[in-house]
Chain A
Amino acid sequence: MIWVAWRQHRGEFLGVAILLAGLGALLLTHGVAMHDAYDRLGIRDCHLVFLGGTDQACIDRVMDFEDDYAGLPQQFTSWLPFLPMVAGMLIGAPLLAREYEQGTWQLAWTQGVTRTRWLATQLGVVFGVVLVASVVFAAGLSWWLEPVDIQRFSSAKFNHAVLVFPGYVLLGMAIGVLAGVLSRRVLVAAAVTIPVYLALRLPIEFGLRPRYREPLTSDDPAVISHGWPIDGITMGPGDGFPSVRYQPDDRFWQFQVIETAILLGVTAVLLATAWRLVLGPGAVTADRRLVRAPGRRPAVR
Chain B
Amino acid sequence: MSAAVVTRGLGKRYRSTWALRDCDLVLPAGAVVALVGPNGAGKTTLLQLLAGLQQPSAGSVSLFGLSAPAGSAQALGELGYVAQDHPVYRRFRVSELLHLGRSLNPAWDQDLAERRIDELGIPLRQRTGRLSGGQQAQVALALALAKRPRLLILDEPVASLDPLARREFLQVLMATVADEGLTVLLSSHNVAELERVCDHLVVVAGGRVQLAGDVDSLLDEHRVLTGPGAGVPDGPGVIHVDQADRHAHVVARIGGAEPMPGWSARPIGLEELVLAYLRRAREPRPVTSELELSA
Q: Is the CB of B92 within 8 A of A113?
A: no
Which residues of chain A have C-beta atoms less than 8 A from B140's C-beta?
Answer: 107
Residue B263, interface by CB 8 Å: no
Which residues of chain B have C-beta atoms less than 8 A from A40's C-beta?
Answer: none
What's the Cα separation between A220 and B111 when bound, in Å? 79
What's the Cα separation between A191 and B239 when bound, in Å? 53
Within A248-301, which residues are at the interface with B (CB < 8 Å)? Answer: 281-283, 285-288, 290-295, 297-301
Residue B244, interface by CB 8 Å: no
Residue A110, interface by CB 8 Å: yes
Which residues of chain B have C-beta atoms less than 8 A from A294's C-beta?
Answer: 17-18, 206-208
Which residues of chain A have C-beta atoms less than 8 A from B197's C-beta?
Answer: none
Q: Is the CB of A295 within 8 A of B76?
A: no
Interface size on B, residues (CB 8 A): 56
What's the Cα separation between A39 and B48 when bound, in Å? 67
Within B34-83, which residues are at the interface with A (CB < 8 Å)? Answer: 38-41, 44-45, 48, 51-55, 71-73, 76-77, 79-81, 83
Which residues of chain A have C-beta atoms less than 8 A from B106's C-beta?
Answer: 112
Given B19, B38, B87, which contacts A106 in the complex, CB threshold below 8 Å?
B87
Q: A104-B88, A106-B81, A290-B44 are in contact. Are A4 and B104 (CB under 8 A)?
A: yes
Interface segment, B94-102, B117-125, B221-229? B94-102
Q: How far is the CB of A165 from chain B (nearest CB, A)?
A: 30
Q: How far is the CB of B293 from chain A (nearest CB, A)?
A: 13
Chain A contact residues, CB within 8 Å of chain B: 1, 3-4, 7-8, 11, 102-107, 109-115, 118, 281-283, 285-288, 290-295, 297-301
Which residues of chain B have C-beta atoms less than 8 A from A3's C-beta?
Answer: 99, 103
Q: How far is the CB of B10 from chain A (nearest CB, A)?
A: 14
What's the Cα separation between A180 and B3 when bound, in Å? 39
Which residues of chain B have C-beta atoms less than 8 A from A111's C-beta?
Answer: 76, 100-101, 104-105, 147
What's the Cα separation between A8 and B292 when bound, in Å? 38
Q: How far is the CB of A9 from chain B (nearest CB, A)?
A: 10
Given A11, A107, A298, A301, which contacts B91 in the complex, CB threshold below 8 Å?
A11
Q: Is the CB of A103 within 8 A of B17?
A: no
Q: How far is the CB of B124 from chain A (nearest CB, A)?
A: 15
Residue B172, interface by CB 8 Å: no
Contact with A along B1-41 (1 / 0, CB 8 A): 00000000000101001110000000000000000001111
What's the Cα separation between A115 and B55 when bound, in Å? 12
Which residues of chain B have C-beta atoms less than 8 A from A7's C-beta?
Answer: 92, 96, 99-100
